[in-house]
Amino acid sequence: MSGKGRCIDNHTIENVFGKIKREFIYTRSFNNIEELEYGLTRYIRTWNNKRPQAKLQTSPMNFRKKKAEHKNVA
């Protein structure tokens, strides 16, 4: 973190929270907190493991696997 008065990290986290709200929270309705927690957990798992990221051109999990394989070969 960048410390008090320095918003260098703020943009990234605000971007992530904005996407979660637009793609998950605002597009569904929940009957109780357990449904929200379960759905959010699944959404985050999908985000990390399956959803392609534009900068990486693959999912974060696949990117990490490829990096690790490349490191082990070298």
* pLDDT tens, position by position, 36-59: 999 999 999 888 788 777 888 888
SS3 28: coil
pLDDT of residue 30: 94
64 part of a folded domain: yes
36 part of a folded domain: yes
69 part of a folded domain: yes
Residue 62 and residue 71 in contact, taking contact as beta carbons nearer than 8 Å: no
pLDDT of residue 41: 95
22 part of a folded domain: no
18 part of a folded domain: no
SS3 43: helix
Q: Per residue in 8-39, pLDDT tens?
A: 678 888 888 999 999 999 999 999 999 999 99
Residue 50 and residue 58 in contact, taking contact as beta carbons nearer than 8 Å: no
**Rounded to whole angstroms, how far apart are CA atoms 64 and 41?**
20
pLDDT at 1 over 60: no
25 part of a folded domain: no
7 part of a folded domain: no
Q: Can you tell me which residue has the tokens 């904005």?
A: 18
Please count the structural domains in the chain: 1
Domain limits for position 43: 31-74
pLDDT at 4 over 70: no
